[in-house]
Amino acid sequence: MYKSLLLIILAFLTACSSVGNNSVSEPTEPVSFEAGAFVDQDLSLVHAENKKSIKLGMSRKEVEKLLGEPTESIDFMKVYIYSGIKVHYAEDIVDGMMIDDNTPNPASFQTPRGLQYGDSLEQIESLYGEPQDKTINGQTTTLVYLIEKRGDQWEPIRNWDEAQNKEKAYSISINVDAEAGMFFYMAANYQFSVNPTG
């Protein structure tokens, strides 16, 4: 009896300890995504081939265990460039991730929803729904999704002032060319979103 109870408690503690783990080094179970509704996985980028994820909140050590050392950096922004992804760290914790047309191999990462470099505006809106902000400037459309974690749910917010706790507020920003498709994607916390040069 006591042995069974001890095994149950150990199993529970093991499960609880893995919930707070920031690293996602192995492929995970598929998540159901709905346009306009956000989940924790939306703050990650997935390698298109091996399905390993880099996500906001990971340590630099965890990222470099998966990707190796950065190939270069943008020093004034403290952005580190890896194959397929650019990462910004605040105190060695990921607080911003980008894919753009200046990233080596930009098609090697995609969002967990399947959005990838070159996808059309229609594909983006079918995956993510209507953004809080949509700006059209010539051939380029910019979409901005602002979200905040409230309890265990993600809530869209219209602007940063609407955030109840800016430490739990994030943005997903996407630039799309009318012909070439998506050429910039960024997921970032509030601080990096409003002050990317630190």
| Residue 78 belongs to some domain of the structure | yes
| Residue 153 belongs to some domain of the structure | yes
Q: Is the pLDDT of residue 6 over 60?
A: no
| Residue 13 belongs to some domain of the structure | no
Rounded to whole angstroms, the Cα distance separating 170 from 156 reads 10
Q: Which residues pair with 101 in a beta bridge?
A: none
Structural domain boundaries enclosing 181 = 27-192
Residue-level pLDDT at 3: 33
pLDDT in tens, 16-25: 333 333 433 4
| Residue 17 belongs to some domain of the structure | no
**DSSP-assigned letters across all residues of 74-115:** EGGGTEEEETTEEEEEETTEEEEEEEETTSSSGGGEE-TT--
- Compute CA distances 131 → 24, 39, 116, 125, whole Å: 27, 15, 17, 8
**DSSP-assigned letters across all residues of 11-48:** HHHHHHHHHT---B-S-------BTTB--GGGGEEEET
| Residue 55 belongs to some domain of the structure | yes
| Residue 73 belongs to some domain of the structure | yes
pLDDT confidence of 103, banded at 50, 70, 90?
Answer: confident
Residue-level pLDDT at 187: 98
Q: Is the pLDDT of residue 28 over 80?
A: no
Q: Is the pLDDT of residue 83 over 80?
A: yes
| Residue 97 belongs to some domain of the structure | yes
| Residue 16 belongs to some domain of the structure | no
* Number of domains the chain contains: 1
Residue-level pLDDT at 30: 61
Residue-level pLDDT at 29: 56
